[in-house]
């Protein structure tokens, strides 16, 4: 058995697992760990727990030590220096006339590297910019181009629901979403209604899609010919979530459609009036 802890380095970032060794941590503690980028300070989100060796994908890196007051002070100092680094980098970008938008600067825990995140419409030749920044900061410089979804995750904000963005609160990974999901959920296909702050389809379209897909499979489509307790008829309206249908009976074609439960009808012929298949336009 191995004793592991889960550590997150950013508020809304992924959780990484490390071998706790002889150390005991509580949720909210901070620890110094060795990563591929060097030493980093992260917050413990999963305290000590036992895990069988065979359940581990690969040997975990051990925790170096619990974070001390000096370590936390260094983290706070790095965060203050990041603001100044953003200002200087923005000036350098303007001087080099590069078509790129800076999003965030991040100092490595030990100050050995500064990582700048940016967005751009295409590829950017920033080799001269890197040299200029290295001369200004006297440390290793790395520039990383990200997408608009990652930018929204980093910057945060409010969605059209009035809540803070899901990506900046709890989403660790971006799930593929498509316009087909919006159509199947009966939402307006107006881009302004189904797009998030990043300009892409809203991540929350994915949340209930499994339920909608399941209901679509068992619900007669609009235009379907069905048998009902009151005789044959044609489905004129469908409410997926409530399971209610409106059926125009053949024996009373001039009368208003009758409301019936989904379970009370049996499909004779699938509806021709069902929405045409929508080409998947998936956004990662």
Question: For residue range 43-99, what is the model confidence (pLDDT) as tens digits?
Answer: 998 888 887 776 677 778 889 999 999 999 999 999 999 999 999 999 999 999 999
How far apart are the C-alpha atoms of 263 and 165, rounded to whole Å?
38
What pLDDT band is residue 12 in, cutting at 50, 70 and 90?
low
Two tokens, residue 141:
């410089």
Q: Which helix (H) or strand (E) holds 261?
A: strand 258-261
Instruction: With a cut of 70, say whether residue 171 has pLDDT above it.
Output: yes
How far apart are the C-alpha atoms of 224 and 236, rounded to whole Å?
8
| CATH no. for 73-146 | 3.30.300
Task: State mean pLDDT over 205-229.
Answer: 91
The topology under which CATH files domain 219-269 is: SH3 type barrels. (2.30.30)
CB 113 within 8 A of CB 137: no
What pLDDT band is residue 210 in, cutting at 50, 70 and 90?
very high
Helix ranges, the chain (H): 69-96, 127-137, 148-155, 166-169, 179-184, 191-194, 209-218
Name the β-bridge partners of 143. 116
Mean pLDDT computed over every residue of the chain: 87
Within 13 Å of residue 116, how many CA atoms lie on the same side as its CB? 28
3-state secondary structure of 154: helix
Instruction: With a cut of 90, say whether residue 145 has pLDDT above it.
Output: yes
pLDDT at 172: 78
The angle that helices 127-137 and 69-96 make with each other, rounded to 10 degrees, is 130
- Percentage of residues in the chain having pLDDT higher than 90: 52
Higher pLDDT pick, 107 / 37: 107
State pTM to two decimals: 0.74
Domain extents in the chain:
2-67, 73-146, 151-206, 219-269
Task: Please name the residues in contact with 247: beta carbons below 8 A apart, sequence gap of 6 or more.
Answer: 226, 228, 233, 234, 235, 236, 257, 258, 260, 265
246 phi and psi, to 5 degrees? -115, 125
């Amino acid at each position: 058995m191995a004793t592991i802890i889960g550590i997150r380095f950013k508020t809304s970032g992924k959780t990484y697992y490390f071998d706790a060794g002889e150390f005991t941590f509580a949720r909210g503690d901070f620890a110094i760990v060795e990563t591929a980028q060097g030493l980093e300070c992260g917050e413990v989100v999963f305290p000590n727990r036992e895990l069988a060796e065979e359940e581990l994908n690969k040997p975990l890196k051990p925790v170096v030590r619990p974070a001390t007051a000096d370590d936390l002070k260094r983290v706070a100092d790095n965060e203050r220096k990041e603001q100044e680094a953003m200002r200087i980098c923005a000036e350098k970008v303007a001087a080099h006339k590069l078509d790129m938008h800076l999003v965030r600067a991040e100092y490595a825990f030990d100050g050995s590297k500064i990582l700048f995140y940016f967005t751009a419409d295409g590829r950017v030749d920033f080799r001269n910019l890197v040299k200029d920044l290295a001369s200004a900061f006297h440390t290793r410089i790395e520039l990383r181009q990200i997408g608009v979804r990652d930018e929204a995750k980093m910057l945060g904000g409010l969605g059209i629901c009035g809540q803070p963005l899901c990506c900046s609160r709890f989403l660790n990974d971006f799930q593929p979403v498509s316009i087909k999901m919006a159509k199947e959920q009966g939402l307006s296909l107006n881009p302004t209604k189904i797009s998030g702050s990043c300009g892409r389809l809203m991540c929350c379209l994915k949340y209930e899609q499994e339920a909608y897909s399941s209901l679509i499979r068992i619900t007669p489509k609009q235009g379907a010919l069905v048998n009902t307790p009151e005789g044959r008829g044609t489905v004129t309206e469908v409410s997926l979530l409530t399971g209610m249908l409106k059926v125009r009976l053949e024996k009373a074609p001039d009368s208003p459609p009758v409301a019936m439960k989904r379970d009370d009808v049996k499909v004779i012929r699938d509806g021709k009036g069902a929405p045409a298949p929508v080409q998947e336009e998936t956004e990662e």
